[in-house]
Amino acid sequence: MENENSVEESLTAAISGREWLAQRLVAPWWYHPCLGLLAGALTAVGIARNGTFFAWAVVGYSIGCGLVMWANQRRVGVSMRYFDRAMSSVFVAQVLCMALVAAVACWLEFSRNLRGALLVAALCEFGITLLFGYWSDRVLRQRIVSLQR
- Summarize as ranges the residues that interact with other proteins (CB under 8 A): 2, 4, 7-11, 13-18, 20-21, 24, 76-81, 143-144, 147, 149
Contacts of 64 (CB under 8 A, 6+ apart): 34, 38
Measured at the CA of 57, the angle between CA 51 and CA 61, to 5 degrees, comes to: 145
Shortest distance, position 84 Cβ to other proteins, whole Å = 11
Q: Which is nearer to other proteins, 41 or 76 (CB)?
A: 76
Helix (H, G, I), strand (E, B) or coil at 137: helix
Q: Which is nearer to other proteins, 44 or 137 (CB)?
A: 137
- Tell me 85's DSSP state: H
Q: Which is nearer to other proteins, 115 or 138 (CB)?
A: 138
- Choose among 141, 139, 101, 134: nearest CA to 117: 101
Shortest distance, position 120 Cβ to other proteins, whole Å = 40
In whole angstroms, what is the distance from residue 97 CA to residue 103 CA? 10
Contacts of 104 (CB under 8 A, 6+ apart): 117, 121
Q: Which is nearer to other proteins, 15 or 48 (CB)?
A: 15
Q: Which is nearer to other proteins, 4 or 85 (CB)?
A: 4
Shortest distance, position 138 Cβ to other proteins, whole Å = 16
Shortest distance, position 77 Cβ to other proteins, whole Å = 3
- Tell me 23's DSSP state: H
Shortest distance, position 10 Cβ to other proteins, whole Å = 6
